[in-house]
Structure 1
Amino acid sequence: MDGSSGAPAPAPIPAPGTAEGLRIPPVLLKTLVTVVVATIAYVTTNLINQDQNKLWQLAVSIVIGGATLIVQYMVDFERRLASVETGQQAHAREVADRLAGHHSEMRTLVDRRFTDISEATELFDALDHSMLRLDGVTRLARSATRVSSLGPGLVSAFAREEIDRLASVMENLTTMSADCPGENHDWLMALTKCTTGTMDATSSFVERNYWDSEPALRYLQAQAEAIAQRGVKVRRLFIVQKPEGVDPALLRLCEDQRNMGIDTRVVALSELPPNVRRGTTNDFVIFDETLCYEVEPDLLHENAKTTLNAREDHLRQRVKRFRELWDVGLSDT
């Protein structure tokens, strides 16, 4: 409240000629202008020459009025034509801008697709010239695509984890080394199946219970197949702390493996010469003297880490270490 009586204020009266005022139709306006001009022409001719007859004055007035009407329509037509041309030009610019944007998007998309195709071609060309099986990589890519098409879910998530794990292993192998937590029996089995020459392995007291497990049975079976089918020479050196560790159970284990074609020996660390005693006693397997599978135990004598190492200096040390222990080892026969 501002102290007024509260009566509503009168609405403002729109000014004549404004958008809210009285609007004269264009045809009526042109007619009025024509009549006014014709009247002025008639009066003017009458004042200039009053001796002329009225018919001539009327004819002149009509001609001038008609010309005025025609000029008005021509001006209106020109204004509308200019408006249409402006609209068409604006529409043409808009269409051109849209086409340019669409062309840029299509060009970017095509360039990206060609880049992807070029990268894929380069990748498959590199695979074709590598020692990897191209059909295996292709099968992996197609299978991964089919699994991902199943949509979100546990299966797709598991597939992504497996692909990431495999990609990580491949990236690590480019540095000639890879590792994983715990003991990786899958790596051990795959390497056994790929070996064509020799397998030199050590088995310490930490691993004694392993040989009664199901993975050990499959591992021994894979070694027996490698011996029988590919002529692989397998040597295994069992390491104990003291001579008392060479018990009947260990002797039976050696005999069982010897019956499979595996050459076995036993070495007691306490009986080794000082120069041989110093060195690693971790379990490792050397495949074809080109790659070492090594298991590192923790303080509780549990297998905490598995490492694949194909670096020349590391392999040279492991081959030398195995030969040192093998030469001083005792045959159980």
Structure 2
Amino acid sequence: MDGRTAGEVQGTAPFRGRHRSTALRKALVTAFVATGAFFLTLALTEDATRTWPWTASLVSGGVALIVQYLRDFEQRFETVDRRLAEICAAAELFSRVDGSVLRSEEVTRLFLGYTKVREQGGDIVQAFAERELRRLARTLEGLGGGSMDASGENHEWLIDLTDCVKMTLDATSTSVDREFWSSGPGQRYLTAQEKAVKRRGVAIRRLFVVREPDEVTPELTALCEDHRRHGIEARIAVRSLMESHTRVDDFIVFDGELCFETMPDLQSAPDGTRLRAEPEHVDDRVSQFTELWAAAEFVPEP
């Protein structure tokens, strides 16, 4: 034994195979070019001593060999240049991460976790991991651009944002999401809001919007009371009793910086979710909520 490990032997074997294959290819190409040049020069000249055919053969073969080596050198140089560019891009990326609010160790964990999945996971695990990574990339790109859309109701976004909010949460609730409050995600959302109020002192206001006074049912009043038990201020806004009867959408403003909006379909059912962080849009939502809240009715204790 020469002291090398099995991994070293396995790692060098493919390299040696590729090296032999490349050398054989160069030799065959050189021989083919040299032979072709010999017979072509022999056919085109009347040199009885065959000096010119041999000279042309040697020169052509040498040129062919040199060209092949130059081509290989160029390919290796391009590979090295590309890898250097990738290394520089990675270094710049991590330097930005180190200087950002996002902790660099979390990004490191992401890359290490993905690498581990690629090395040890099965096909379905790798496919799922890649799908999740693409989803995360789209989310971050969207937030960086100020807007992010998702199909259907994204309850995970809603609860995660509630866990992140620090100061205020102002929300409207229309008939689009009225049944949401009795669902499992709705109860989880209420629990997350109660924790935000009691543990972090977040001020939460919810405005239930209806079209006509007869829509202020005992069920809606009971829903407002349930919110108050969770530490949430609740009011009911009747659009027909207001000076302005403009349409009111379902939206939530987190800390006056980010809007979570529900987009209804033609049947007024939740069809999509949108995050908006553009300052002008957020300011418009804040102003709209402030006006609606001032015009709404306080629901008395039952």
**Residue 252 (str. 1) matches residue 222 (str. 2):** yes
2:87 corresponds in structure 1 to: 117
SS across alignment from 2:135? helix
Note if contact 1:182-1:305 (Cα within 8 Å) is conserved in structure 2. yes
SS across alignment from 2:139? helix
Deviation (angstroms), 1:181: 1.4
Pairs within 5 Å for 1:55-74: none
Aligned pair partner of 1:214 in 166, 175, 184: 184
**Residue 314 (str. 1) matches residue 281 (str. 2):** yes
**Residue 144 (str. 1) matches residue 114 (str. 2):** yes
Whole-Å separation in 2 of the counterparts to 1:137 and 1:189: 22
SS across alignment from 2:297? coil
Matched to 1:177, the amino acid is S
**Residue 193 (str. 1) matches residue 163 (str. 2):** yes
CA RMSD of aligned residues (A): 2.7
1:330 corresponds in structure 2 to: 297
What are the Cα deviations for residues 247-271 of structure 1, in whole angstroms up to 9, with x where unaligned?
A: 2222222112111111111111121
The TM-score, its normalising length taken from structure 2, stands at: 0.75
Deviation (angstroms), 1:309: 0.7
2:193 corresponds in structure 1 to: 223
**Residue 282 (str. 1) matches residue 252 (str. 2):** no
What are the Cα deviations for residues 70-94 of structure 1, in whole angstroms up to 9, with x where unaligned?
A: xxxxxxxxx9xxxx99999888767
Consecutive unaligned residues of structure 1, counting only runs of 5 or more, are 1-78
Matched to 1:320, the amino acid is S
2:17 corresponds in structure 1 to: none
Deviation (angstroms), 1:295: 0.5
SS across alignment from 1:174? helix
**Residue 108 (str. 1) matches residue 78 (str. 2):** yes
2:136 corresponds in structure 1 to: 166
The TM-score, its normalising length taken from structure 1, stands at: 0.68
Moved over 6 A (4+): 84-95
User: Which piece of structure 1 moves more, 126-135 or 91-100?
Assistant: 91-100
Higher relative contact order (CA 8 A, sep 6+): 2
Consecutive unaligned residues of structure 2, counting only runs of 5 or more, are 1-48
1:8 corresponds in structure 2 to: none
Whole-Å separation in 2 of the counterparts to 1:307 and 1:91: 67
Deviation (angstroms), 1:291: 0.7
1:298 corresponds in structure 2 to: 265
Pairs within 5 Å for 1:20-31: none
The count of aligned residue pairs is 252
Deviation (angstroms), 1:304: 1.1
SS across alignment from 2:298? coil
Identity %: 40
SS across alignment from 1:308? strand
Whole-Å separation in 2 of the counterparts to 1:87 and 1:268: 97
Matched to 2:220, the amino acid is L
1:128 corresponds in structure 2 to: 98
